[in-house]
Amino acid sequence: MKAWVKRCTVPVVSLLFLMGAQLLGAETMRLTLEEAIGLGLQNSTALKAKAVSVYSAEAGVKSAKASYYPSVSTTATYTHFFEQPAMDLGFGSAYTAASDPISLSVDVRQSVFTWGKINNAVKLAEDGADLAKLDLGEEQRKLIIEIKKAFYGYILAKEVLAVQEETLMHKKEALDVTRKRFSAGLSPEYEVLSAESDVENFNPTVISAYNRLRFTLLAVMDLLGIEGDGEFDIELIGSLTPEFFEPEKKQLIDGAMSNKYEIRQFQRNTALQRTRQEITKAANKPVVGAFANYMLTSGFDTSTGDNKYWGEDSWDGNLTIGISVTMPLSALFPWSKETADIAKGELDIENLDLQLSSVKSGIRLNIENLVLKIEEEWAKIGSGKKGIELAQKLYDSALQRYKNGLISSMELKDAQIGLNNAKLGYLQAVYNHKIALFDLMNAVGVDDFKDQL
Instruction: With both helix axes pointing from N to C terminus, report the angle between 117-183 and 337-403 in degrees, rounded to the nearest 10.
Output: 10
Q: Are 224 and 40 spatial neighbours (Cβ–Cβ below 8 Å)?
A: yes
| Cα separation, 367 vs 256, whole angstroms | 9
Mean of pLDDT values over 379-405: 93
**What one-letter code names the amino acid at 187?**
S
The predicted pLDDT at position 16 comes to 45
Residue 12 has pLDDT above 50, yes or no: no
Mean of pLDDT values over 373-377: 93
Q: In the chain, what percentage of residues exceed pLDDT 70?
A: 91
| Cα separation, 283 vs 332, whole angstroms | 9
Residue 13 has pLDDT above 70, yes or no: no
| Cα separation, 281 vs 269, whole angstroms | 18
The predicted pLDDT at position 307 comes to 83
| Cα separation, 257 vs 453, whole angstroms | 11
Label the pairing between strands 233-236 and 307-308.
unpaired
Q: Cα 147 vs. chain centroid, distance in angstroms?
A: 13
| Cα separation, 195 vs 411, whole angstroms | 12
Average pLDDT, the chain: 85
Report pLDDT digits (tens) over 246-296.
878 899 999 899 889 888 888 888 888 888 888 887 777 888 889 899 998
| Integer angstrom CA distances of residue 179 from 256, 395, 405, 412, 414 | 63, 19, 13, 15, 19
Torsion angles phi and psi, residue 378, rounded to 5: -65, -40
Q: In the chain, what percentage of residues exceed pLDDT 90?
A: 46
Residue 85 has pLDDT above 70, yes or no: no
Report pLDDT digits (tens) over 187-197.
888 888 988 99
CA atoms within 13 A on the CB side of 340: 4
Please name the residues in contact with 420: beta carbons below 8 A apart, sequence gap of 6 or more. 163, 164, 167
The predicted pLDDT at position 10 comes to 42
Q: What is the DSSP letter of 330?
A: G
| Cα separation, 237 vs 255, whole angstroms | 31
The architecture that CATH gives domain 2-69+114-286+327-444 is: Up-down Bundle (1.20)
The predicted pLDDT at position 24 comes to 44
Instruction: For residue 23, name the pLDDT band (cuts at 50, 70, 90).
Output: very low
More confident residue, 275 or 20: 275
Instruction: For residue 405, name the pLDDT band (cuts at 50, 70, 90).
Output: confident
Among 102-111, 240-249, 435-444, the minimum mean pLDDT is found in 240-249
Residue 218 has pLDDT above 70, yes or no: yes
The predicted pLDDT at position 389 comes to 95
Q: What is the DSSP string of 359-414?
A: HHHHHHHHHHHHHHHHHHHHHHHHHHHHHHHHHHHHHHHHHHHHHTTSS-HHHHHH
H/E stretch holding 293:
strand 287-300
Predicted TM-score (pTM) of the model is: 0.80
Q: What is the largest CA-CA distance in the chain?
A: 151
The predicted pLDDT at position 301 comes to 77
Sign of CA dihedral 133, 138, 141, 146: negative
Angle made by CA atoms 245, 249, 251, in degrees to the nearest 5? 90
